[in-house]
């Protein structure tokens, strides 16, 4: 049978179910029993059924135009972030919720046990019971990798951030390599040469060492790059402070806000008036410093797009080919550059 002629009604007649049931089954909706979904999808495949892209676009427009209160719900799942965490964690959810509402969806927060919530299996059961198929996974705040330990076959999933996941799903994240490259390029153009990077080890690993790789690759004096790259842990801060105190001191320290806080709390650390600070996780609350604004809300919105795209294409479970949507960030020069 010609693909262009196969309709939902024909599939429903061949499968022996109502058109509404077939429509839900082809979207992997949780309100249709798994055995029924598989039977209907098998019939549709054999008949050569394909969703009409114009109809899909129309339905997306209808969903986007209707009131959010009537829309389908997406889940925003916190992996390891406590309830009382402040920005930037609130920005992730705000950006995702705004984009979801623009597309006609509601967005509701859920938490796994490590974030003060449910076990993975319990969470999956709750989502299926509520017919929630679209899931946005939060970025990690404590770990460099994580496992998704529930049956994902009924869900369309996207992960915020670049942390290693098992199994892997589509990601929306910051382009750490491009962000570091941008910072070094702008500093070099501003005449800076003695640049030291102090990078949190866990964050650098979570970024698949993109920060350190970009620093070594694009440092103004490549032969000196390695000795100007310092990796920070909670246990070696005093040692780093001694290195940063050597003369001549750095013109610029490239780091993150968390590492800078650790340095400030360490005896003997001070920032000379001539030393500029560039934060790789810059936010407007740091007006005295320059840096890369990662764009948390933009990244979260991109993750919602990845989830909704899968829902519209009837894609569920672990993807055969993982997509990564990366945002390089925005440059904010340090005062005086």
What pLDDT is recorded for position 16?
A: 86
**CATH architecture type of domain 3-50:** Orthogonal Bundle (1.10)
Q: pLDDT digit string (tens) for 254-308?
A: 999 999 999 999 988 888 889 999 999 999 999 999 999 999 999 999 999 999 9
Distance separating alpha carbons of residues 114 and 96, to the nearest angstrom: 21
What pLDDT is recorded for position 90?
A: 83
What are the φ and ψ backbone dihedral angles of 69, each rounded to 5 degrees? -60, -25
SS3 of residue 74 by DSSP: strand
CA-to-CA dists, residue 194 to 197, 221, 244, 252, angstroms: 10, 9, 12, 7
251: DSSP letter: S
Q: What is the CATH T-level fold of the domain 65-174+297-327, as seen in this structure?
A: Rossmann fold (3.40.50)
Q: What predicted TM-score, i.e. pTM, was given to this entire model?
A: 0.78
Q: pLDDT digit string (tens) for 214-253?
A: 999 999 888 889 999 999 998 999 999 998 988 888 999 9
Provide, rounded to the nearest whole percent, the portion of the chain with pLDDT above 70: 89
CB 212 within 8 A of CB 229: yes
Query: Could you say which residues of the chain have pLDDT below 70?
Result: 1-4, 28-30, 52-71, 83-88, 115
Domain with CATH 1.10.260.40 in the chain: 3-50
Distance separating alpha carbons of residues 9 and 23, to the nearest angstrom: 10
Q: Is the dihedral of CA 147, 149, 151, 152 positive or negative?
A: negative
Instruction: Specify the residue for token string 């951030």.
Output: 161
CA–centroid distance for 10 within its chain: 40
The domain 176-293 having CATH identifier 3.40.50.2300: the answer here is: yes
What pLDDT is recorded for position 331?
A: 98
Domain with CATH 3.40.50.2300 in the chain: 65-174+297-327, 176-293
Q: pLDDT digit string (tens) for 301-314?
A: 999 999 999 998 88
CB 109 within 8 A of CB 138: no
């Amino acid at each position: 049978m010609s693909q262009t002629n196969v309709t939902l009604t024909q599939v429903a007649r061949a499968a022996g179910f109502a058109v509404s049931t077939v429509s839900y089954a082809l979207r992997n909706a949780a309100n249709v029993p798994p055995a029924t979904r598989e039977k209907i999808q098998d019939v549709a495949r054999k008949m050569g059924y394909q969703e009409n892209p114009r109809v899909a676009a129309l339905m997306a427009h209808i969903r986007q135009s209707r009131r959010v209160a009537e829309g389908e719900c997406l889940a925003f799942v916190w992996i390891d972030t406590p309830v009382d965490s402040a920005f930037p964690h609130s920005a992730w959810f705000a950006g995702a919720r705004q984009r979801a509402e623009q597309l006609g969806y509601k967005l509701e927060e859920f938490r796994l046990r490590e974030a003060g919530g449910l076990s993975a299996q319990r969470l999956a059961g709750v989502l299926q019971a509520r017919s929630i198929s679209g899931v946005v996974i939060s970025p990690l705040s404590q770990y460099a990798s994580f496992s998704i330990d529930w049956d994902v076959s009924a869900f369309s999933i996207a992960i915020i951030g670049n942390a290693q996941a098992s199994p892997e799903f589509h990601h929306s994240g910051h382009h750490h390599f491009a962000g570091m490259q941008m910072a070094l390029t702008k500093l070099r153009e501003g005449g800076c040469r003695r640049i030291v990077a102090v990078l949190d080890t866990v964050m650098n690993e979570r970024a698949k060492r993109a920060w350190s790789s970009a620093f070594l690759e694009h440092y103004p004096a490549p032969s000196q790059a390695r000795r100007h790259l310092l990796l920070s842990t909670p246990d070696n801060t005093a040692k780093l402070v001694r290195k940063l105190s050597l003369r001549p001191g750095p013109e610029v320290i490239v780091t993150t806000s968390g590492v800078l806080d650790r340095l400030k709390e360490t005896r003997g650390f001070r920032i000379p008036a001539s030393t500029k600070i560039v934060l790789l996780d810059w936010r407007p609350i740091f007006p005295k410093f320059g840096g890369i604004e990662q764009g948390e809300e933009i990244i979260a919105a991109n993750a919602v797009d990845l989830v909704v795209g899968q829902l519209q294409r009837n894609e569920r479970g672990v993807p055969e080919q993982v997509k990564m949507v990366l945002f390089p960030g925005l440059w904010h020069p340090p005062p005086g550059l």
